Structure 1
Amino acid sequence: MIFALILFGCADDGSQCQKLAATPKHYEARVLCEADAEMALESDVALSADYPSVEARCLPISANVAMSSGEPRENQPVASLRLASVQSAQPRPR
């Protein structure tokens, strides 16, 4: 089965989520998809999202294709990011 790593912008409580306009990356296994979730939350798309939080979810391709509302609640996030904490954080030293 092929999985897609998809980013969602969500309300603080996670009740309302919308798929972000990013091209999903595809993986041969869920474990590989989940391994990249934290990195996806550091992407420009995730960090510039106009939502209180962003979630990364690994969904089977069939669920991704069938998804029309952008809110598949049966799939829990692999990782999430609260943007308020990112905006107040100090820049990382290089």
Structure 2
Amino acid sequence: MISSLAYAIILMGCSDDMTLCREMTRDKRVFATLQECERTEAMVLQSDVALEIDYPVVATKCAAGAKKFARKGATDIDG
């Protein structure tokens, strides 16, 4: 059986103390494993999109969901 689970990188704008974070955008890429997603997070933090987010802290997280969820609202976050 083929799994429909996928991972997407979500960029978040956060407060200084990281207690409040807001999802800003999702990377258009969909990753088959959590490890693939996590290997790409550092690169996404250096992208033009991440650098333009007007929050004290910009963070990423790899979110699991169906492929449809991961692609929803997709934005190209390649450098």
TM-score (norm 2): 0.72
Identical columns (%): 35
Structure 1 residue 20 displacement after superposition: 1.0
2:54 corresponds to 1:46:
no
TM-superposed deviation, 1:31: 0.0
5+ residue gaps, structure 2, are 70-79
Per-residue CA deviation, residues 12-45 of structure 1 (Å, 9 max, x unaligned), is 1111111113444210000000000000001111
What is the one-letter code of the residue matched to 1:40?
V
One-letter amino acid of the counterpart of residue 14, structure 2: C
C-alpha contact 1:22 1:45 (8 A) present in aligned 2:
no
Q: 1:26 aligns with which of 8, 30, 35?
A: 30
- Relative to structure 1, is the Cα distance of residues 2 and 39 closer, same or farther in structure 2, using a 3 angstrom cutoff? same
In the other structure, the counterpart of 1:8 is 12
TM-score, normalised by the number of residues in structure 1:
0.61
1:57 aligns with 2:61: yes
Paired residues for 1:64-75 under 5 Å: 65=69
**Bigger strand share:** 2
5+ unaligned residues in a row in structure 1: which ranges? 66-94
Contact 2:10 2:62 in 1 (8 A): yes
Indicate the RMSD between aligned Cα atoms, in angstroms: 1.4
